[in-house]
Amino acid sequence: MARTSDFANNDPFTGLQLLSDEAYVSLGSMEAVEWSAPEKKATPWRDFVPGFLLAAILAGAAVLINPLMPASIPVGASVLALVGAILIRNALPFPVATFVPGCRWIVSKVIPIAIVALGAGLNLAILATDGLRFLGYIVAAVALSTGLALLLGRWIGVRHITALLIGAGTGICGSSAILAVAPVVDAEEDDILLSVGAINLVGLIAMFVCIGLGAWFPIPAIDFGILTGSTIHAVPTVAAAAFDHSPEAGQTATLVKLGRVAMLVPFVLVVSAVWRRRHQEKTGASAKPTAKGMMKFVPWFVWGFTATALVGTLGLIPDLVFSDSPLPLSEATLSGASLLAKAGKLMLTLAMAAIGLQVGLKSMLRTGARAVLLSVVVWLIVTGFVGVMLKFS
């Protein structure tokens, strides 16, 4: 088995020490759970400025360039921002330490607000007709990812615990699920570093593959939302890929993905119960979690998105009415829900630029080949299964 020293100890998306107290509290800021710097060494606000400004410039450039892109390159502003930021981060001499604080702040603070704002564009009436269908795909994705990872991991030669973490990261929510499950099963450093590295690398690939599928095949918006929401690993990459297709796909995908995030609580409780039963002689790290204690693992933006969608569905988001306005408006009334959703997309573009500036490809590519292979195979099978079910359902 590869040793810890062979791998980077930081999450390539955030720079956080994966095994630090801050990382466990954040559950991986790739999922945009709030992260706070250690109190004993607070970061001065001026240290955030370089990263924030660079991410804002890249996001603004992506928004301006996007309408000029040819139809043969079907990518939205958020994906353009991500790709441009990754290229700058990895192709040019880049002073990482200068820009990481601001980028990390954007990822941890802006993404949750963006997700909540995006909820304004969703009509929850869709749950009346497709709610059970969404739930079926969510449960299938979680169960299939975990089962396949454990089964194929043995065949590929990946440690049992590493395989379990890869299954959790694929089925639920990337780094967040891995960091939540790891203490329950007494995971070692190598298990965590291998699984996080593999999941982050394959998660990026999954986003681009799904964008290509949406461009090359005539997939209905809701079906594309289900496909991306149930197979891509992290919330921001799900939203970026699905909103590239259409607003309806983006809203559906975000709803399905947040349903997967909410599955983290029952998943960890089940894994804990099974693990404790099979390893009763072990004590210490595998403390028994409770449902109440596990609720803190579900990020607040899951509830915020739901609340905003509910308020929007009920028509309670006020519109902006302009009477006798000197502005050259074509309409006297602007939809408040539409403005919130558009603001959410702009914030998502900013966040994707910040994420891209933190992606160290060299670090990610040092991840163990077997862990990456397992992650790729599991994702391909799950995506194929979901695609076939959508085709014939």
From residue 190, give the alpha-carbon distance in Å to each of 20, 187, 204, 265, 359: 14, 8, 21, 24, 20
Query: Does residue 71 sit in helix, strand or coil?
Result: coil
* Alpha-carbon span 378 to 295, nearest angstrom: 27
Question: pTM of the predicted model, to two decimals?
Answer: 0.81
From residue 65, give the alpha-carbon distance in Å to each of 68, 124, 197, 354, 379: 5, 33, 31, 18, 32
The answer to whether residue 150 scores a pLDDT higher than 90 is yes
The pLDDT value recorded for residue 136 is: 94
The answer to whether residue 240 scores a pLDDT higher than 80 is yes
Residue 312 burial by CB count (10 A; 0-12/13-18/19+): exposed, middle or buried? Answer: buried
- Residue 9: how many CA atoms within 13 Å on its side-chain side? 8
**Which one is predicted more confidently, 333 or 362?**
362
Residues 316-332 have a mean pLDDT of 64
Query: Does residue 329 sit in helix, strand or coil?
Result: coil
Q: What is the enclosing helix (H) or strand (E) of 334? A: strand 333-334
- Per-domain residue ranges for the chain? 4-37+45-320+331-392
**pLDDT tens digit sequence for 78-136:** 999 999 998 998 888 878 788 888 888 888 788 889 989 988 888 888 888 889 999 99
Q: pLDDT grade, residue 191 (50/70/90)?
A: confident
Question: Which residues partner with 321 through β-bridges?
Answer: 333
Contact between 168 and 176 under an 8 Å Cβ cutoff? The reply is no
Contact between 259 and 235 under an 8 Å Cβ cutoff? The reply is no
- List all residues 6 or more positions away from 103 whose beta carbon is below 8 Å from its beta carbon: 51, 52, 54, 55, 354, 355, 357, 358
* Alpha-carbon span 361 to 364, nearest angstrom: 5
Distance of CA 361 to the CA centre of its chain: 18
